[in-house]
A and B are shown apart, each in its own frame.
Chain A
């Protein structure tokens, strides 16, 4: 299966406009590799037919399948561990002191298969201990891909996927399913609200502002304008003194945001 430059550009523009993911010409192989089986299943002769089907589809199934396949969902437990240490040692003590209504609002935006929000939830559980009873610490975890959300909700991971998890956590928060698979316990699962949400949407539907936003390794797939707009929206819905965590390869330049640099890939809103 091949894709012509015209077909590629058309599809890439569609994906970029609707989902923010920027696909350069070098990504032709990626697009073909990830989508050709859809074409085969649906008996399309070429990408033009597929594109017609995609933009005319009323059921949204076409879009859902496209998103499931075109997104890159790489993630793992404890990824970029410095962030979690900072979150545990600096952010949580600060929030415990300052959040008077005991309603923590933490958002994992682009949560993929759930490793990031689950890691956060386990840290929170450890940190609050018995006092957690008095707090609402439920995390919001969103992604655009139905497929990864499904996996996240099920919360089952292959043993090699939880290699990075500390033994203590494995004991406390995981249960064996079979000789290859381990599942997150309900206590932690119930602490994460998984929802589908497209970050490109111009208005955020959330009731209140967030204390902490994690959006790591999501914007590396976006073009600059999309990224800057998104950061602006993040800033708007961050509580004063709240934090934004981005991926370690990313950075915010001072002239596009009022967030202040704290440590690498961690920023904070003043106030």
Chain B
């Protein structure tokens, strides 16, 4: 490099020096840019430097294109100044006092030009430095003439920087707002700016890719999908995130799988399950809780199981005894019904008795009256008999008179006959009359005798009759007494019968009431039999449902519930089944006749 430098023409050397100078300025701006924190700003400052370098190069190439004096000193001074400037001492000027005249003027002009250039350079660099410090508003005085292109360049740089800044700000804001898909738009930029922006975008992409995949996995996780894993190939922290997340999901998946298996078993009634694998951290609490729940379920279901067994057996007993009670009550009711029927019979008989007794009573009274009347008649008859007796003895007396008259008449007739005989013929007629009179007298006497005999007979008969009548009267009296007694008794019977009848009707009423109660009892107990039967079947249902659970034995072994049912209950169940079967066999459904409908037809508003 240095050999090339020595051989080079002065003009070329000068050019090289200026290029070098510009390069230095770039370096400085680079250093200045290093102070700036932002990468982008740094880049822009650098670009500013490069730009400056180009500008300066351009200026120099123009200025040195003119021919210059070969004056050694001047050349030497210029060389010196150039060297100094090359090594960074840009304050070094060509000493003006060493030249005169035109040379001095030239030197002055060179010095002014160098000075101008350096100060312009400095001003431009200041602005760039301000840019570097982040002050994009730093002002730059307007350079005159063609130097204005520096202004243009700096302003272009300023707008570019501002645009980059705005774009970056937009990204930062989007990031703050969580819009991670937001990217910078590189189409607005050209060259390295575009590359820079593209680079920025791909930087964001690079940072976001794992985050996005992780977020997708987490999203799926959120949706309950535990099958997803982070697949991308990442490095460093991202790889660690990937591994951690994948591990987490795997742990979750395993745990959830086991828990869900256990829960599925449980839902199918198998309580003989537990979480057996090792769970870490909070998951161990889950394991503990679930195992605890299972344990609780087991003991709870054990209890329910026992209780439902007892309830089933107990309610079976209740319904059995309710059934017995119902049968008893029904029997009672039907006995009472029969009792009522017989009581009704008895009561009607008693009624009959009372009626008959009443009738007998009145009959006896009639008889009594008649007997008394008979007695009276008998007394009358006795009196008549006495009268007859008296008349008879009177008749006897009369007959005696008649008999005496007949005797006298006979004697008189006899005397007349004697007299007639004496009178002979003349007395003959008289004798006949006397004979006739004697006959009449004899007949009279005969009749009187006969009558006397009759009367005597009659008297005797009357005597006998009187005796009989007297006896009869005595008997009748006795009868009257007896009938009176009978009447009293019959009366008593009638009264008693009546009382009996009313007593029996009272009994009947009582029995009716008892019957009502018994009937009601029968209905009540029938109802409670049916109700308790209903309850029994529900208890049985409950028992069956609970028995479906497979439980842990208290000792930790499992057992089938059917083994636990007492043989008594089992027998009962068997018996029930058999009864049903018997019935089914006896009565196939189709043979049962259908009864005629008995429903009403008009249901009013319904």
The one of B523, B534, B592 in contact with A17, judged by C-beta atoms closer than 8 angstroms, is B592
The one of B532, B593, B604 in contact with A14, judged by C-beta atoms closer than 8 angstroms, is B593
Q: Are A17 and B589 in contact (CB under 8 A)?
A: yes
Residues in A neighbouring B334, C-beta threshold 8 A:
32-34, 36-37
Q: Which of A77-101 contact B (CB under 8 A)?
A: none
The one of B523, B534, B589, B606 in contact with A206, judged by C-beta atoms closer than 8 angstroms, is B606
What is the CB-to-nearest-CB distance from B342 to chain A, in angstroms, rounded to a whole number?
A: 13
Bound CA span A177–B541, Å: 49
Q: Are A26 and B323 in contact (CB under 8 A)?
A: yes
Q: For the side of the interface on A, what is the size category? A: 35 or more
Q: Are B526 and A220 in contact (CB under 8 A)?
A: no
What is the CB-to-nearest-CB distance from B537 to chain A, in angstroms, rounded to a whole number?
A: 8
Residues in A neighbouring B592, C-beta threshold 8 A:
13-14, 17-18
A197 touches B (CB below 8 Å): yes
Bound CA span A208–B603, Å: 11
A165 touches B (CB below 8 Å): no
Residues in A neighbouring B598, C-beta threshold 8 A:
60, 63-64, 67, 144, 146, 196, 198
Q: Are A193 and B595 in contact (CB under 8 A)?
A: no
Residues in B neighbouring A36, C-beta threshold 8 A:
334
B583 touches A (CB below 8 Å): yes
Q: Which of A181-222 contact B (CB under 8 A)?
A: 193, 195-198, 201, 205-208, 217, 220-221
Residues in A neighbouring B522, C-beta threshold 8 A:
33
Q: Which stretch from B324-332, B401-409, B449-457 is at the chain A interface?
A: B324-332
Q: Are A201 and B531 in contact (CB under 8 A)?
A: no
Residues in A neighbouring B331, C-beta threshold 8 A:
29, 33
A24 touches B (CB below 8 Å): yes
Contact flag A72-B523 (CB < 8 Å), given A193-B603, A195-B603, A201-B599: yes
B535 touches A (CB below 8 Å): yes
CB 8 Å contact bits of B579-596 with A (1 = contact, 0 = none): 100010011010111111
Chain A residue nearest to B526 (CB atoms) is A72
B105 touches A (CB below 8 Å): no
Contact flag A207-B606 (CB < 8 Å), given A25-B579, A63-B596, A195-B600: yes
Contact flag A33-B330 (CB < 8 Å), given A25-B579, A251-B538: yes
Q: Are B327 and A26 in contact (CB under 8 A)?
A: yes
Bound CA span A10–B331, Å: 22
Contact flag A220-B605 (CB < 8 Å), given A201-B599, A249-B535: no
Bound CA span A31–B16, Å: 136
Contact flag A201-B597 (CB < 8 Å), given A33-B330, A247-B531, A249-B535: yes
CB 8 Å contact bits of B506-534 with A (1 = contact, 0 = none): 00000000000000101110110011111
Chain A residue nearest to B535 (CB atoms) is A249
CB 8 Å contact bits of B436-480 with A (1 = contact, 0 = none): 000000000000000000000000000000000000000000000
Chain A residue nearest to B596 (CB atoms) is A60
Bound CA span A58–B600, Å: 17
Q: Are A206 and B597 in contact (CB under 8 A)?
A: no
Contact flag A220-B594 (CB < 8 Å), given A74-B527, A136-B605, A196-B600: no
Q: Give 7 closest A-B pairs by Cβ, nearest first.
A: A249-B531, A33-B334, A33-B330, A74-B523, A13-B587, A18-B595, A74-B527
12 additional A-B pairs beyond A74-B524, A193-B603, beta carbons within 8 Å, are A6-B586, A13-B587, A14-B592, A24-B579, A25-B583, A36-B334, A60-B596, A107-B606, A136-B605, A144-B598, A146-B598, A197-B600
9 pairs of residues in contact across A and B, judged by CB atoms under 8 Å: A13-B586, A13-B591, A17-B589, A17-B592, A19-B595, A63-B596, A217-B531, A220-B533, A220-B534
B: residues with CB less than 8 A from A are 323, 326-327, 330-331, 333-334, 337, 520, 522-524, 526-527, 530-535, 538, 541, 579, 583, 586-587, 589, 591-606
A: residues with CB less than 8 A from B are 5-6, 9-10, 12-14, 17-19, 24-26, 29-30, 32-34, 36-37, 55, 58, 60, 63-64, 67, 72-74, 103, 105, 107, 136, 138, 140, 144, 146, 193, 195-198, 201, 205-208, 217, 220-221, 247, 249-251, 253
